[in-house]
Structure 1
């Protein structure tokens, strides 16, 4: 696994086995691997220990890494670097390629007996992350290696082809990684090895600084840039952008209150929003609005960066409707920016809830150019109650809805992210009681917080 060149980093092989460093602090490039139980292991690659990493260990220092990277079996890293310019288009291309590789690794015959684990590459001082996967073949079959080479052969025309690394152990129980390189007319060959060095976990998950350009967009312009890069292969992206162009750059709400109702699926959100709207004689809006909601299935099948750009722009489109409607009556909105951000955070931040950005982190702040509601209500029910309601619905589930059911850690990350949102924060409402009681509680909160 190797980094592409980026400004401020010296990452080429010509600089020596340990010279892949970030120039500001001479820091080793690092990697974070998701292990069973949503725990994380951080490691670096190098021949010697960098002076600034005083508590770095050798590969024997973390038995979790040794269990995955040493025999029996064999482990490989496959990473998709972002092109050197780091542009939005480069990020989109890398995300699409990473998605395609994951699909093939999960479904192609030689790989189906292998274990896949999420792997991210990062530089401790910033500069973006690289998405990848650690593939462990418990049988160490030559067919797996041949299939990986064949997979790489299909990607060589990409601006930044994926990099394949192979892990081996030596007699002293050190773990090494060697990169496979394509030599002209000679096929695939293993390069010199670099030692695997466990390193301390950073204070902040390494993907968090990358989120404003990959999932939790700080403004409309950032989300538009992503869909602009998609218009050549997603025609609907142009249609969404045309609708955004029709919206004012800055929207101001009218004199009537705007209330957003958030919640996981099957918390009673649809019923409550309709009931509150009827009680207040309010306009009921939904994000994304119906006329782009028809394209949800298309964007839900895309990588996170594209999917979240679509939902982010849906918020800006519905904001122009909120601005108009709130001049004449109260407005109730079924989901808005908070849901867009929480799902992006929970999806992109690997590991457990302890790896989420801490409370009051800027990622939880409302976008500076998006119309802000007067009140946000978060409906909650117990996991058992929510599952019971879902079973009774019999509706087709999105990928995220399915993961909420099967992955309790993912659900907890979504819920905690909701509760950490600020400016405005969420007012939590217990939606377990009877419908009439929940409605009355919601109306009381609205009365106490809105004119």
Structure 2
């Protein structure tokens, strides 16, 4: 048994467990002195649809290595979907110690529909448990001996049984305990370290490392000769049109993040778990920062997306649920990395959702995975937009992009004149 697994088990009774069920999150904990009853709303929501002769299971990934654990968890979903009985329902699950950073572990909750599917699921999990050390497995047993059925968690790795009781939702989303330098990177070295650890197993990571600046972040801080202007916003808000208009009007240089030099590997890392995908985009920002430093002595620089996009999408993806689940304004999670060049001005183009959808249809382009998520999941879009607004140092200045391209250009030129003295 790995040290990570032993550490998890040593404080198992102090942990809170969360399961996403039908768009809501159910929290429960262990309390052997007060076994959970089906009459409790939260427990009923989790177990109420389970048949009397079937069980539920949870599978957690407990590897001590952060990258290995992330990749194992990412691959486990496909492995479960391909191998489990068709009647078995799979839901995201996590476990954490309240208010303890980096205590979050991810897994899946399995709901079986019959005695046969329960037996098949258990055989499969026992086979995997013998082969895969990072796995931590529990089954959830229903006791029908009393008038009010109770549920018990049976921890396979320790041969322990615990009564289940509902738990209050934490004051903030549990994933916030794990965001720093896993979903959002706040230094060049933290992002680079992730790629160094996986370079032996992912050749593309080694290729990206070869392009990185040795010293990391940016050149010693100095006031740039020309302003650095970042344009942010969802797809179809007019960023490309505005970028080109500003280039022509100001005689500016256009840069993008991720930069062209690593774009060939973008699709590859979009297929990896969040820690690798977000590290890739973070490193792209630092490469772009180096390019900015070389250009600002010659011309103004216009950047099509930068760290705001990287952080906003990462936070909105990691924290499922309503906007109120986001970290509060002023949280360290919204702070600009201290070693990343700060732009002179960040403009966030906003657009009515229906108008944005119309523009997307007129483009006739296929949707990216994140774009599809924006359209199909209103809460996700709201989280992205709110995260944009909360990032500080510098903050975004919102500009309504529903006017004509010329009117939007004039609005932004006025901002540049006021903020950048151009």
Q: State the TM-score, normalized to the length of structure 1.
A: 0.85
Runs of 4+ in 1 over 6 A off after TM superposition: none
1:322 is matched with which residue: 292, 299, 310?
Answer: 292
- Listed as ranges, the matches of 1:369-388 within 5 Å are 369-388=339-358
The match for 2:96 is: 122
The match for 1:143 is: 117
Larger deviation, residues 67-76 vs 332-341: 67-76
- Listed as ranges, the matches of 1:252-401 within 5 Å are 252=221, 254-401=224-371
Counterpart Cα distance in 2 of 1:106 and 1:270: 40
- Displacement of 1:179 after TM fit? 2.8
Contact kept, 8 Å, 1:217 with 1:312, in 2: the verdict is yes
1:178 is matched with which residue: 151, 154, 171?
Answer: 154
CA distance change for structure 1 residues 247 and 383 in 2, over 3 Å: closer, same or farther?
farther
The match for 1:11 is: 9
Contact kept, 8 Å, 1:61 with 1:198, in 2: the verdict is no
Matched residue count: 411
The match for 2:29 is: 44
Contact kept, 8 Å, 2:60 with 2:107, in 1: the verdict is yes
Q: State the TM-score, normalized to the length of structure 2.
A: 0.90
Counterpart Cα distance in 1 of 2:261 and 2:312: 23
CA distance change for structure 1 residues 248 and 77 in 2, over 3 Å: closer, same or farther?
closer
The match for 1:97 is: 72
Contact kept, 8 Å, 2:40 with 2:166, in 1: the verdict is yes
The match for 1:63 is: 41
The match for 1:34 is: 20
Alignment gaps of 5+ in structure 1? 13-18, 22-27, 50-56, 84-89, 182-189
CA deviation string 1:83-122 (max 9, x = no partner) = 2xxxxxx1111111111111133344x4443332221110
RMSD of the TM alignment (CA)?
2.4
Contact kept, 8 Å, 1:82 with 1:130, in 2: the verdict is no
- Say whether 1:168 aligns with 2:141: yes
CA deviation string 1:346-385 (max 9, x = no partner) = 1111222211111111100000100110111111112212
Secondary structure of 2:154's partner? strand
- Say whether 1:153 aligns with 2:127: yes
Alignment gaps of 5+ in structure 2? none
- Displacement of 1:340 after TM fit? 0.6
- Say whether 1:76 aligns with 2:57: yes
Contact kept, 8 Å, 1:3 with 1:81, in 2: the verdict is no
Contact kept, 8 Å, 2:19 with 2:91, in 1: the verdict is yes
Contact kept, 8 Å, 1:257 with 1:374, in 2: the verdict is yes
Counterpart Cα distance in 1 of 2:176 and 2:39: 27
Counterpart Cα distance in 2 of 1:197 and 1:297: 43
CA distance change for structure 1 residues 154 and 218 in 2, over 3 Å: closer, same or farther?
same
- Displacement of 1:246 after TM fit? 4.3
Secondary structure of 1:295's partner? helix
Contact kept, 8 Å, 1:247 with 1:317, in 2: the verdict is no
- Say whether 1:202 aligns with 2:170: yes
Counterpart Cα distance in 2 of 1:237 and 1:327: 31
Contact kept, 8 Å, 2:93 with 2:109, in 1: the verdict is yes
Counterpart Cα distance in 1 of 2:98 and 2:39: 20
- Displacement of 1:272 after TM fit? 1.4
Secondary structure of 1:327's partner? coil
Secondary structure of 2:232's partner? strand
Counterpart Cα distance in 2 of 1:361 and 1:62: 34
- Listed as ranges, the matches of 1:364-443 within 5 Å are 364-443=334-413
